[in-house]
Amino acid sequence: MHWLIVEDALRDKKGHWFEYVSTFVAGLHQLGDTATVLAARDAQPLIIKSLDAQPVLPRSIWHRMNDDSGPVRRLVRIPAHSLATHRAMKQYFKQHGYPDLIFVPTISVHHLAAWWRLLSGSLRHEKTLVLLYFVETPILFDVVTGCAVLRPNVTAHLFRYLIRMLKPAIDGGRVVLAAETQEMSRGLQQVTGIPFVYLPQPVRPLVGARDLPSAEGIIRMASYGGARHEKGSDILQSAIARYLRERPQTRVQFILQWIDDFRDEHGVLITKDAALMNDPRVTYIGNYFIQDDYGRWLERTGVMLLPYRKSYALRGSRVALEAMVHGIPVVATRGTTLEGQTAQFGASVLCEDGSVESLCEAIRCAEDNCASLREKASARAASAAEYFSMANFRSMLLAKFSQ
């Protein structure tokens, strides 16, 4: 089977897209399939060379979503990007023909009109299957009702309208809409009235990622990926500062990947803590990982610190999946998808949403019980690796298409 992976966010190493797409390409090749990757037209040479990608897609929309553009300009980008995507795909099909399966790994409202037009036109009489995969959507978790709700803006309502426009292609068995978590798939179906399926995002064991306990008894607790408000990076930083004050004899060394500063919900810029930057018990990683760096950092990690806010309640975390696959326990927020996943495939200590005090207590519990948590996580690592694998993803997808 030949896959066409279409990802305009594949531009550089910012975010998880390079690792994300690389996982799919490597996994498909191991399963005997082939894959062609389409990337943004301004993709860096390293990206193009590493994945043998074709830079034919419009300039990445994901990297422009959080700029300072006004609401009108952001709204105009939706039809403009869809039109550009439609043109790029039509040109590609004209030159290269149609694959067995088209996979759009992180589709957004900016792409939906393009794929509706393609499915109604160029792809209408083809046997090509299409998978549209959602990792971020304009729906929220309502903590009062416990249900998913649509964001109260024009973009969200346009998203729902365009999803419903895909119904004929979905009913015809040519298109599958999927989400990375069970909670998101249920929420999207509830909000749109259109069927979504859950496909667990695949991760792969990384070079050097194995359990190497410190001879000095040091426990390294880490948070990888870009620092963001919704990931609780500000709460984590405050909790670490408090923990080191209250427990000066701790065996814990903290590692925080903090590439860019960010703003909280009030627009206040959150920067690295100056005192922590000068504390030998804290390491800040200020760059993206290259080659096997991530595997080497995982090798040193005893506990993963992921106190994501409940605004993340419907979404998943690739870092959490990688922790489970490698037998690393997780500190996670109660009520998020991480709670359920780690209960089934790993080991975790839970904290309350946005609470420095609760997070400090969770870190203390993780330090005091690190050995038993690691034992539990390690015992479940093989099961996690099998479930969050490319083979399982492919099997579940093809089963859905064959229904």
Say how far apart CA 188 and CA 305 lie, in whole Å: 28
Q: 219-387 architecture in CATH? A: 3-Layer(aba) Sandwich (3.40)
pLDDT tens for each residue of 226-259: 899 999 999 999 999 999 999 999 999 999 999 9
What average pLDDT does the segment 356-366 reach? 97
Alpha helices in 31-151, H assignment, sequence order: 45-51, 71-96, 109-120
In Å, what is the CA distance from 272 to each residue of 234, 235, 240?
9, 12, 12
Residue 70 sits at the vertex; the CA angle it makes with 41 and 82, to the nearest 5 degrees, is 40
**Residue 291: per-residue pLDDT:** 63
3-class state of residue 153 by DSSP: coil
Say how far apart CA 303 and CA 250 lie, in whole Å: 14
CATH match for 2-202+389-401 among 3.20.20.80, 3.40.50.2000, 2.30.30.30, 3.40.50.720 = 3.40.50.2000
What average pLDDT does the segment 160-185 reach? 94
Domain spans, the chain: 2-202+389-401, 219-387
Percentage of the chain with pLDDT > 70? 96
**Residue 314: per-residue pLDDT:** 83
Q: In terms of Cα–Cα distance, which of 365, 224, 236, 369 is closest to 298?
A: 224
5 membership: H or E segment, kind and range: strand 2-6
- Please compute, for residue 186, the number of CA atoms within 13 A of its CA located in the half-sphere on the CB side: 10
**Residue 244: per-residue pLDDT:** 97
Say how far apart CA 243 and CA 250 lie, in whole Å: 9
Token representation of residue 148: 């998913």
pLDDT tens for each residue of 99-136: 999 999 999 999 999 999 999 998 988 999 999 999 88
Residues 6+ apart with CB under 8 A from 391: 27, 31
Alpha helices in 268-317, H assignment, sequence order: 274-277, 293-299
2-202+389-401 and 219-387, same CATH topology: yes
3-class state of residue 330 by DSSP: strand
Say how far apart CA 60 and CA 17 lie, in whole Å: 11
Q: What is the pTM of this model?
A: 0.89
pLDDT-derived band at 364 (thresholds 50, 70, 90) equals: very high
What average pLDDT does the segment 141-154 reach? 82
Compute CA 145 distance to the chain's CA centroid, rounded to the nearest angstrom.
Answer: 26
Contact 9, 65 (CB under 8 A): no
Say how far apart CA 237 and CA 276 lie, in whole Å: 8
**Amino acid identity of 316?**
G
Token representation of residue 369: 């019980």
**Residue 68: per-residue pLDDT:** 66
Mean pLDDT of the chain: 91
Strands (E), 58-200: 101-104, 129-134, 139-142, 147-150, 175-179, 197-198
Compute CA 97 distance to the chain's CA centroid, rounded to the nearest angstrom.
Answer: 30
pLDDT tens for each residue of 297-343: 888 899 999 999 987 778 889 999 999 999 999 999 998 999 999 99
pLDDT-derived band at 225 (thresholds 50, 70, 90) equals: confident
Check pLDDT > 70 for residue 208.
Answer: no
